[in-house]
Structure 1
Amino acid sequence: MSDLCEADSLFALLLAGDEGAPALLAPERPALTRGGLAQQVRRVGSALAARGIAAGDRVAIVLPNGPEMAAAFLGVASHASAAPLNPAYRAEEFAFYLDDLDARAIVLAEGVDSPVRALAAARGLPLLELAVPQGAAAGVFELAGKGSAAERGRPAGAEDEALVLHTSGTTSRPKVVPLMQCNLLASARHIGEVLRLGPGDRCLNIMPLFHIHGLIAAVLSSLGAGGSVVCTPGFNALKFMGWLAGDQASWYTAVPTMHQAILARADRQPEAARAAALRFIRSSSSSLPPQVMLALEATFGCPVIESYGMTEAAHQMTSNQLPPGQRKPGSVGVPAGPQVRVLDDDWRSLPTGAVGEVAIKGPNVTPGYQANPEANRQSFRDGWFRTGDQGTFDADGFLTITGRLKEIINRGGEKISPREVDEVLLDHPAVGQAVTFALPHPKLGEEVAAAIVLREGQEADEQALRAFAAERLADFKVPRRWVFLEEIPKGPTGKLQRIGLARQLGLAE
């Protein structure tokens, strides 16, 4: 493990290491070295300084996935505060986030027709347009409004805000999560230590870069260890195997739905999957079905490391271990950076085997939600943060997440973990994907429902799946409503979302 992540600021981290080593790569683009990336970050700082933007000021970044997005994030976060927004947002969504964040400027690709342009004009926000010179290395761009060398931006420090994101807000108004440079550096260091990353490692990033997973687990952890990252245009199952081979990646990280899509393609190219010579595969952001983990290991011939992360923790909290350490299918591993406890409703620690709410404390954890005293009162105490996830530790110190507290189905007083039902359904040979969710019920309050995607060429009806589940689950856990789909709706980061699924599918009024 490199000591680069011991740097006390993002800018110091980017200045450290071998200047000639590759840092950012992209399909069909020349690689950008660490030295070249440091120069690009300085240019971004100058552009911000020319607009009067400095530490503490928030800059919205509206860019597609790719090396420019990665470099823009690093440049802005090193001098101010980066606020990445999903480029697919509609005008109303952009308006909400720009106002909620109090953004000082917007970074947008030159010539892109986005509703954010009109919003910038209406609010008097500077629009910094990004242009990529012909033949430029991955991540190199020019930014309108850049200053002269005399106007070089002053890098921000460890205690300054570097990144600001919103929670998903599936059941309430999204909460603003500010993260300091020290939070990001700690999380990148934790990830690098767990995965034993070094200068020879190369991550193939397929995660969106407006989300904590891709920004920290793929980009910053790689650079913090002296390694490199391949910045793809975004997840594409048809191109994945080609990217993997072409850029000689040693690992990739993704959400379970992406892993499942990759498996479907890799099954048709088993020799190519083995030839990829991955050192490991990482999974995070939602629970990885044990069946998918085992299939990935068999297909690619390498360990699959499931980790547990969330925005408020600058991503990683726990992780399974690389060999010769343990990894347990269905578990999210052992504490991997912060302290982790399971608490009761009164903030008291519960013993091994007991189920309670997972709480964390450590240098990677946000200091608190912005302008939300009630949420802070409920979620933070003495440095501890309640995650909203329900879980339990086993005798080996491995944590299993039994469900998101808000996702637990309450069927007439009987509490049901939807993940438990998912895993049973996925054991059926015809089931490719399964998402169990709550369906409103006039008498019971909630009923158990399941959305199913069948494997290609396989058949199964409601009667068959109900009988299969009834042999393996208590009667009250067996889904009463079944929905067969070609594709289950996903969130913008590729995660399957239980909350609100009944409404999305037209099953709830």
Structure 2
Amino acid sequence: MYRADTVVGLIEHGHEGDLAIGAPGRPGLSYGGLRELARRTVAALNALGIGRGERVALVLPNGPEMATAFVSFACGATTAPLNPAYRAEEFEFYLSDLNARALVILEGMESPARAVAAARGIPVIELVPEASGPAGLFTLKPERPLSGTPARAGFAEAEDVALVLHTSGTTARPKIVPLRHVNVTASAFHIGQTLELRREDVCLNIMPLFHIHGLIAAVLASLAAGGQVVCTPGFNALKFFSWAEEVRPTWYTAVPTMHQAILSRASRNTESIRAGRLRLIRSSSASLPPQVMEELEQVFGVPVIESYGMTEASHQMASNPLPPRPRYAGSVGVAAGPEVAIMDEAGNLLPPGSLGEVVIRGRNVMAGYENNPEANAKAFSQGWFRTGDQGVLDEAGYLRLTGRLKEIINRGGEKISPLEIDTVLMDHPAVQQVVTFAMPHPKLGEEIAAAVVLREGASVGERELQDFVSARLADFKVPRKILFLPEIPKGATGKLQRIGLAARLGLSS
């Protein structure tokens, strides 16, 4: 397979006239057009005094312009995509923490980021889509005149930082993750290899493009394979099937909650599914309940490939393989890029079958958190990066995760994996979605709680669900509190969040 160690090189091999970036209802942008856009953008940035290694914050809605801006800016500067839904305080933190050289925002878009940038003296550059041109084509318009000579002009090199993201920061201050060109391109090719992506493949992107999953798995992996990525305005279960009918994708990638929302509308769209040309569905960024995987495969008639990723690894670390190799519900598959091993607390690598922390090393793994020696000392052990996930590698190299170490429930010394309880509750016919989490207990320290969304028209009580779990698991694993909700609170990327859920649901006192 073709290899490149920069984003510039990655987009160079796509066939000139083949479509690279698209959007529903709009003509697509070819590889030739994308390369020209990247060259033009880097020249424009250099003329504004912005060059390699300088950080440009992107505040753009989901869509083809966000995809092409990420690719084009990465070719000659460092991209820092931010969630457009952030409030002023969040923009204040991120723009300051990033030491952003400029803010790029959609022309006419109202956002508190503008006022924050102005107060901090950060130049604002408006991105102006070319309405009559192909999807993703844009020009840049600084709000005030800018000029200068960047310290490092021209196209980025392999060791330059292409992308800067923050960790989620659910339990502490978010950490800066700098990902070099060599990291993100390696991951893009790893994903393409895993999914056997080709020129003919079309990805329908429904993931947010301020998140590593959408940026690398949907956009860069498609471009690395010479295929096409069609960018929607964001996830919308009501529009998914009409988009799919128009775009005729061969694959899509999403988080489990999105797959569940799509499944909830599948029965109304059976003809559309039969007429489609999907060859696989990918799931990542959170554990896919085995029941959801099985239902997806039954409904769509294609393999569901669960993968395991995180920001610090430029997304993909392990993945189930395509048929004819086996894939297992409840497993995130085999190493699919970096080396994967299991380590104990003392830093010893453990044999197959042992429970411990998942560790990784390889070309797609970040060199370290920025300006954070304390975090790096904890995160790296003998050249391996500690993921913070607990799991087991079997003799065949398949990895099963038992949960985030910080999410494991400690009930009076008994360590309980919330994933195990999720899986059992999902087996109940009335349950559509569940997230198990820790709630405070005055004597035990932590007790088990679960939030449940029922299937449409279904009815079941707390006691019945507790008995259901009790018949399958030891008594200490039975949730002492089950809440029934119309919807479980999710993070910005659609992931269910266990940490902090007790407080959000009023169970923390």
CA distance in structure 1 between the aligned counterparts of 2:110 and 2:224, rounded to whole angstroms = 35
Question: Residues 14 and 223 of structure 2 are in contact (CA less than 8 Å); yes or no, is this contact kept in structure 1?
Answer: no
Are 2:365 and 1:365 equivalent residues in the alignment? yes
Report if the CA contact (8 A) 2:317-2:335 is conserved: yes
- The one-letter code of the counterpart of 1:119 is V
Q: How does 1:336-347 map to 2 (within 5 A)?
A: 336-347=336-347
Q: How far off is 1:395 after superposition? A: 2.2
Paired residue for 1:484?
Answer: 484
Contact in 2 for aligned 1:46/1:147 (Cα 8 Å): no
Query: CA contact under 8 A between 1:47 and 1:147: conserved in structure 2?
Result: no
Partner AA of 2:55 in structure 1: R
Counterpart for residue 194 of structure 1: 194
After TM superposition, list the pairs within 5 Å mapping 1:168-247 onto structure 2: 168-247=168-247
Return the alpha-carbon distance in structure 1 between the equivalents of residues 416 and 267 of structure 2. Answer: 34
Distance 1:163 1:474 in 2: 45
Counterpart contact for 1:409–1:417, Cα < 8 Å: yes
Q: When the two structures are aligned, how many residues end up with a matched partner?
A: 505
Summarize the alignment of residues 268-347 of structure 1 with structure 2, pairs less than 5 Å apart: 268-347=268-347
**Matches of 1:81 and 1:132, distance apart in 2:** 21
User: 1:36-82: per-residue Cα shift (whole Å, max 9, x none)?
Assistant: 01111122212211221111111000001000000000011111110
**Pairing partner for 1:84 from 72, 81, 104:** 81
Is 1:408 the counterpart of 2:408? The answer is yes
Asked if structure 1 preserves the Cα contact closer than 8 Å seen for 2:104 and 2:124, the reply is: yes
1:455 aligns with 2:452: no
Shift of 1:326: 1.1
Larger mean CA deviation between 259-268 and 89-98 belongs to: 259-268
Cα contact 2:56–2:78 (8 A) shared by 1: yes
Contact 2:251 2:279 (8 Å CA) reproduced: yes
Residue type at the aligned position of 1:334: V
2:7 equivalent in structure 1: 10
- Provide the rounded CA distance (Å) in 2 between the counterparts of 1:404 and 1:7: 33
Asked if structure 2 preserves the Cα contact closer than 8 Å seen for 1:49 and 1:147, the reply is no
* Equivalent residues in 2 for 1:413-432, closer than 5 Å: 413-432=413-432
Work out whether 1:384 is the aligned partner of 2:384.
yes
Structure 2: distance between partners of 1:381 and 1:419: 26
Task: Report whether the alignment pairs 1:33 with 2:30.
Answer: yes
The amino acid that maps onto 2:173 is: R
SS in 2 for 1:440: strand
Query: Which secondary structure state, in structure 1, belongs to the residue aligned with residue 406 of structure 2?
Result: coil
Tell me, what secondary structure is at the counterpart of 1:144? strand
| Whole-angstrom distance in 1 between the partners of 2:28 and 2:222 | 15
8 Å contact from structure 1 (residues 274, 299) kept in 2? no
Deviations 1:447-502 (A, max 9, x none): 00000000001110101111111101100000001111000000000000000000
- Which whole-Å CA distance do the structure 2 matches of 1:59 and 1:147 have between them? 14
Amino acid at match of 1:446: E
CA distance in structure 2 between the partners assigned to 1:105 and 1:69 by the alignment? 16
Q: What's the offset of the Cα at 1:347?
A: 1.1
Any unmatched runs of 5+ in structure 2? none
* Superposed CA offset, 1:17-45 (max 9, x none): 21100000101111100000111112221
Residue 53 of structure 1, aligned match among 50, 53, 73: 50
Give 1:277 deviation, angstroms.
2.2
Counterpart position of 1:99: 96
Q: Aligned with 2:26: secondary structure?
A: coil
- Tell me how far apart the structure 1 counterparts of residues 306 and 131 of structure 2 sit (CA, whole Å): 40
Q: 3-state DSSP class of the match of 2:57?
A: strand
Instruction: Kindly report which structure 2 residues correspond to 1:258-269, keeping only aligned pairs within 5 A, or say none.
Output: 258-269=258-269
User: Which residue of the partner structure matches residue 131 of structure 1?
Assistant: 128
The 1-side partners of 2:130 and 2:321 are apart by 42
Query: 2:40 aligned with 1:43, yes or no?
Result: yes
Supply the distance in 2 between the matched residues of 1:110 and 1:440 (Cα, whole angstroms). Answer: 47
Q: CA deviation at 1:7?
A: 1.8
Structure 1 residue 388, shift from structure 2 partner: 0.1
Distance 1:175 1:271 in 2: 46
Query: Shift in Å at residue 147 of structure 1?
Result: 9.6
Tell me, in whole angstroms, the C-alpha distance in 2 between the residues paired with 1:344 and 1:122: 48
Question: 1: CA distance between counterparts of 2:243 and 2:208?
Answer: 16
Structure 2: distance between partners of 1:474 and 1:258: 31
Q: Alpha-carbon deviation of 1:153?
A: 5.5
1:421 Cα deviation after fit: 0.1
Q: Residues 402-435 of structure 1, C-alpha deviation per residue, up to 9 Å, x if partnerless?
A: 0100000000011100000000000000000010
Partner of 2:500: 500
Question: Matched residues in 2 for 1:112 and 1:133: separation?
Answer: 15
Moved more, 344-353 or 216-225: 344-353
Cα shift readout 1:113-164 (whole Å, capped 9, x = no counterpart): 100111111111111101112322110011114999x999511101000000
CA–CA separation in structure 2 for the residues paired with 1:257 and 1:97? 27
CA contact (8 A) 2:437 2:499 kept: yes
Structure 1 unmatched runs, 5+: none
Matched position secondary structure for 1:79: coil
Q: Distance between the aligned counterparts of 2:496 and 2:199, measured in 1?
A: 34
Mapped contact 2:347–2:382 kept (Cα < 8 A): no
Aligned Cα root-mean-square deviation (Å):
1.5
Structure 1 length-normalised TM: 0.97
CA deviations on 1:204-238 (whole Å, 9 max, x unpaired) are: 10000000000000000000000000100000000
Q: Is the 8 A contact 1:10 1:78 kept in 2?
A: yes
1: distance between equivalents of 2:212 and 2:274?
29
